[in-house]
Amino acid sequence: MPPVTTAHYVMLSAILMGVGLFGVVTRKNAVIVLMGLELMLNAANLAFVAFARHHGNLQGHVFTFIVIAVAAAEAAVALSIMIALYRLKGSITLDDAQELKG
């Protein structure tokens, strides 16, 4: 079995980024869009760690911890907005959120 190289990790990261982007662009449910964003952030984390391993330093790991902290804050804010939207409109589609402008 051939060894797993950095190129394999980068390819997996690109595939995860594409799947996440597809979920964000094509879906109207806010939960699915949020899951797509989280998938994209995890793809970036995988690339950071792969390149840090390739170069033999810890900078990619530091960036990964920063991205994890930002993702946790983003998820908390987004979920609270979705709860408020569900209480107001009865659903969490992004079309309902467009009506809240103003």
∠ CA 60-79-14, nearest 5°, is 35
| pLDDT at 67 > cutoff 90 | yes
Per-residue pLDDT band for 102 (boundaries 50, 70, 90) equals low
**Nearest Cα to Cα of residue 9 among 39, 54, 41:** 54
Residue 101 confidence class, pLDDT cut points 50, 70, 90? low
Please report how the helices 6-26 and 30-55 are oriented relative to each other, as an axis angle in degrees rounded to 10: 160
CATH for the stretch 6-98: 1.10.287.3510
Over 90: is that where the pLDDT of 54 sits?
A: yes
pLDDT in the model for residue 25: 95
Q: What is the pTM of this model?
A: 0.86
